[in-house]
Amino acid sequence: MQEPVTISEFTREVKLHFEAKFNFVNVIGEISNFKHHSSGHFYFTLKDDKAQVSANMWSSKNQLLRFTPSNGMKVIVKGRVTVYESKGTYQIDVFEMQPAGEGELQVAFEKLKQKLFAEGMFDVIHKKPLPDFPERVGIITSETGAALQDFIRVTNKRYPLVKLYLFNASMQGRGAAQSISSSIKKANKFFASDQSSLDLIILARGGGSIEDLWCFNEEIVAREIFRSGLPVVSAVGHEIDFTISDFVADLRAPTPSAAAEMIFPDILELKKRLNVYAEDLKGITGEKFNRVKKILNNISTNYYFNKPMDILNEYKLRIDDIDKGISDCLKSKLLKLKARLDSNEKLLNSLGPEMVLKRGYTIITKKDKIINSKKLLKDRDKVGITFFDGDVEAVIKDEGTNYKIDF
Amino acid sequence: MKNKKDTAVNEENISFERSFKRLEEILVKLENDIEDYSLEEIIKHYQEGLKLLKICRSKLSEAELVIEKISTEQDN
C-alpha cells in the first residue's frame, strides 16, 4: 500500500501524463455554450451526441480565424489538452479551427438568413432610396484592396463630381466583422468639412471563398447595416456570391465596379441630356413666342381690329369738310366787310376837307378854331390858312366892310 | 400659379443635383403650363433655364474626383 499523496501531487501527476499524451489532438465536434470573453478569448464546449469537452481558444490564436464560431456549428479543431489544476478539469487548448465542411458555413448562413428574414430585416419597406446624384459617398473597404481601385476607376470615368470618403477596414478574417460594423457606425456619424453628412455608404470587397467573405455573413454586420440611417450598398464578392449583407443592404451590387455603375449617373449621358434640355428650352419658348407673334399679326391686320381706324378716318374727313365750310363762310363775310370798308373810305374821303381844299378852298383858323364867319374876325387878327398842301400864317387888315388879308 | 417649390435659384454654390433638377422642373412647367404664363414669366423661366444649363455644364466639365481618407481604428 502506497502512502497517500496530496491532491496537488496527484493532479500534477495527471497533468504531466495527460498533457504529454495529448499534446496534439485533432477532433471534430459541434460548438455549444460559446462565449466570446471581453478579453478576446473564446470559451466553448465541443460535443457530439454522447460526450463533451471544454475548449478555449486564446485571442492570439482566434484573431486568425476567418469566421466567428457560433453555437451549433460543426468544426474541426487542432490543439492540445491542458489540465487546470486548481479545478481538476481538463480542456482542449485550440490552435486552429475550421468549419467541418463548406456545408457547415452554408448551414450557419441559412440559419442566420432565416432568423433575420423572420425579423423582417430584409423587407422592402426598410429599403432606403438612393440619391439620384450622390455628392458624398463613404466607401468601407480595405485601402490596399483591388475593390477600392476598381470602384475608383469606374467612378472617375462615370461621375467625377462625387467626393469619396474612404473608411479603411479589414475585409477578411476574424475582426473584420467588428471592423466593418464600427466603420458603418462611424460613417453614419461622419460630417464633411461643410457639416453635411454622407449620402450613402458602400461596403466594397472583391471576390473570395465563402470563408473569405464570411464577415459579411455575420450578425453584427447585418444588424449594423440595418441600423444605418444612411443607405447602404453591399458590393461584396463576385457576381454569384450572395452574403447576408446583400439581403439587408438597401442595394446589392454584384461587384464593386458594378456598384459604381449602379449608384452614379453617367456623365456622358448627363451631357447628352443637357443638350436635349437646351434644345427643349429654346424650342418650347421659341415656339410660344412665334405663336404670339403670329397672333399679334393676325389681330393687327384683322378687319374688326382696323374698323376703329376707319371710323376715325371718316370723322377726320367730316372735320375737314366742316373746317372748309367754316373757312368759306368766313371768307365771304370778310370780303363783304372789306367792300363795306372800301366804300366807307371813299365816302369819308369825299366828306373830308382834303378834296375841297384841292378844289381851291382854304380853311382859316384863329387860335386853332375854324373861322366860318366874317364876324369872328377883326383888324390885326392873326389867322392860319390851311391849303390842301400846307398851312400859312396871315394878318387881317380891316378896310371897311372887307377884310384885306396881309400875309 | 405660384407654389412653394417654384422658387428660382440664385446661389452660386448650388449643387449639381439642385441645378439639374430645377432645370428639369422648369422644362416640365414650360411644357405643361406655358399657356398659363405671361410672356414676362416665360422669359424669366427661359433665362433661369439658361443660367442653370451653364451651371450644370460647367460643373460637369470641371469635375475632378476627390478621395479623402477618414481615419479609423484600423490605421492604428
- pLDDT > 90 in chain A, percent: 49
Q: Give the model's pLDDT for residue A399.
A: 64
Give chain B positions within 8 Å (CB) of A159: 63
Pick the residue with more confidence: A24 or A371?
A: A24
CB A274 within 8 A of CB B57: yes
Over the stretch A241-264, which tens digit does the pLDDT of each residue have? Answer: 789 999 999 999 999 999 999 999
Residue appearing with cell numbers 498533457: A19
User: Across residues A26-53, what is the average pLDDT?
Assistant: 92
Q: Give the model's pLDDT for residue A28.
A: 94
Q: Give the model's pLDDT for residue B4.
A: 40
Asked if B60 lies within 8 A of A270 by C-beta distance, the reply is yes
Over the stretch A114-129, which tens digit does the pLDDT of each residue have? Answer: 999 999 999 999 999 9
Res. A180: pLDDT tops 80: yes
Asked if B17 lies within 8 A of A131 by C-beta distance, the reply is yes
Over the stretch B38-74, which tens digit does the pLDDT of each residue have? Answer: 888 888 888 999 999 999 999 999 888 999 999 876 5
* Entry pTM: 0.63
- Residue A42, Cα to own-chain centre: how many angstroms? 53
Q: Give the model's pLDDT for residue B3.
A: 42
Asked if B42 lies within 8 A of A288 by C-beta distance, the reply is yes
How far apart CA A116 and CA A185 sit, in angstroms, is: 20
Please give the DSSP secondary-structure letter assigned to residue A47. Answer: E
How far apart CA A292 and CA A271 sit, in angstroms, is: 32
- DSSP, collapsed to helix, strand or coil, labels residue A183 as helix
Q: Sort A157 into a burial class: Cβ within 10 Å, 0-12 / 13-18 / 19+.
A: middle
B19, B60, B62, B75, best to mutate vs chain A, most A CBs in 10 Å: B60
- pLDDT bin (cut points 50, 70, 90) of residue A162 is very high
Q: Among partner residues A132, A165, A182, which is closest to B68 by beta-carbon distance?
A: A165
Cβ contacts below 8 Å, chain A against chain B, sum to 102
Give chain A positions within 8 Å (CB) of B75: 168
Over the stretch A344-381, which tens digit does the pLDDT of each residue have? Answer: 888 777 777 777 778 788 888 888 888 888 888 888 88
Asked if B73 lies within 8 A of A182 by C-beta distance, the reply is yes
Res. A324: pLDDT tops 50: yes
Distance from CA of A265 to the nearest CA of B (A): 11
Helix (H) or strand (E) holding B52: helix B39-62
Residue appearing with cell numbers 461587384: A255
Which residues on adjacent β-strands are paired with residue A112?
none
Give per-residue burial for A339-351: e unless 16+ CB within 10 Å, then b. eeeeeeeeeeeee
CB A104 within 8 A of CB A92: no
Over the stretch A203-220, which tens digit does the pLDDT of each residue have? Answer: 999 888 888 888 999 999
For residue A176, which of A229, A245, A121 has the smallest C-alpha distance? Answer: A245
Asked if A138 lies within 8 A of B70 by C-beta distance, the reply is yes
Q: Give the model's pLDDT for residue A165.
A: 96
For residue B39, what are the contacts with CB-CB under 8 A and spacing of at least 6? A289, A292
Give chain B positions within 8 Å (CB) of A161: 16, 59-60, 63
Does the predicted interface ipTM exceed a cut of 0.85?
no
How far apart CA A309 and CA B60 sit, in angstroms, is: 57
Chain A residue closest to B31 (CA)? Answer: A284
How far apart CA A237 and CA A28 sit, in angstroms, is: 29
SS (H, E, C) A223-245: HHHHHCCCCEEEEECCCCCCCHH
User: Across residues A321-335, what is the average pLDDT?
Assistant: 84
Asked if A169 lies within 8 A of B74 by C-beta distance, the reply is yes
Residue appearing with cell numbers 484592396: A145
Over the stretch A56-89, which tens digit does the pLDDT of each residue have? Answer: 999 888 887 777 788 888 899 999 999 999 999 9
- For chain A, what is the mean pLDDT? 88
DSSP sequence for A348-396: HHHHSHHHHHHTT--EEEETTEE--SGGG--TT-EEEEEETTEEEEEEE
Lowest mean pLDDT among A2-16, A135-149, B34-48: B34-48
Give chain A positions within 8 Å (CB) of B28: none
Asked if A164 lies within 8 A of B74 by C-beta distance, the reply is no
- Residue A255: CB atoms within 10 Å: 22
Cell of B34: 406655358
Give chain A positions within 8 Å (CB) of B17: 131-133, 135
- Residue B23: CB atoms within 10 Å: 25
B→A contacts (Cβ < 8 Å), by residue, are 15-17, 20-21, 23-24, 26-27, 30-31, 34, 39, 42-43, 45-46, 49-50, 53, 56-57, 59-60, 63-70, 72-75
Distance from CA of B46 to the nearest CA of A (A): 7
Give chain B positions within 8 Å (CB) of A270: 20, 56, 60
Q: Give the model's pLDDT for residue A30.
A: 92
Distance from CA of B69 to the nearest CA of A (A): 5
Size of chain A, expressed as the number of residues it contains? 407
Q: Give the model's pLDDT for residue A260.
A: 95
CB A251 within 8 A of CB A263: yes
How far apart CA A126 and CA A238 sit, in angstroms, is: 25
Over the stretch A277-301, which tens digit does the pLDDT of each residue have? Answer: 999 988 888 888 888 888 888 877 7
CB A256 within 8 A of CB A235: yes
Cell of A157: 470615368
User: Across residues A12-24, what is the average pLDDT?
Assistant: 92
Handedness of CA A329, A332, A338, A343 (dihedral sign): negative
Asked if B72 lies within 8 A of A179 by C-beta distance, the reply is yes
Asked if B72 lies within 8 A of A168 by C-beta distance, the reply is yes
How far apart CA A41 and CA A35 sit, in angstroms, is: 8
Asked if A277 lies within 8 A of B23 by C-beta distance, the reply is yes
How far apart CA B26 and CA A229 sit, in angstroms, is: 32
- pLDDT bin (cut points 50, 70, 90) of residue A51 is very high
A161, A163, A200, A268, best to mutate vs chain B, most B CBs in 10 Å: A161
Res. B7: pLDDT tops 60: no
Distance from CA of A96 to the nearest CA of B (A): 24
Q: Sort A198 into a burial class: Cβ within 10 Å, 0-12 / 13-18 / 19+.
A: buried
Q: Give the model's pLDDT for residue A297.
A: 83
Give chain A positions within 8 Å (CB) of B15: 133, 135
Asked if B72 lies within 8 A of A156 by C-beta distance, the reply is no
Q: Give the model's pLDDT for residue A224.
A: 96
How far apart CA A168 and CA A144 sit, in angstroms, is: 9
Cell of A4: 497517500
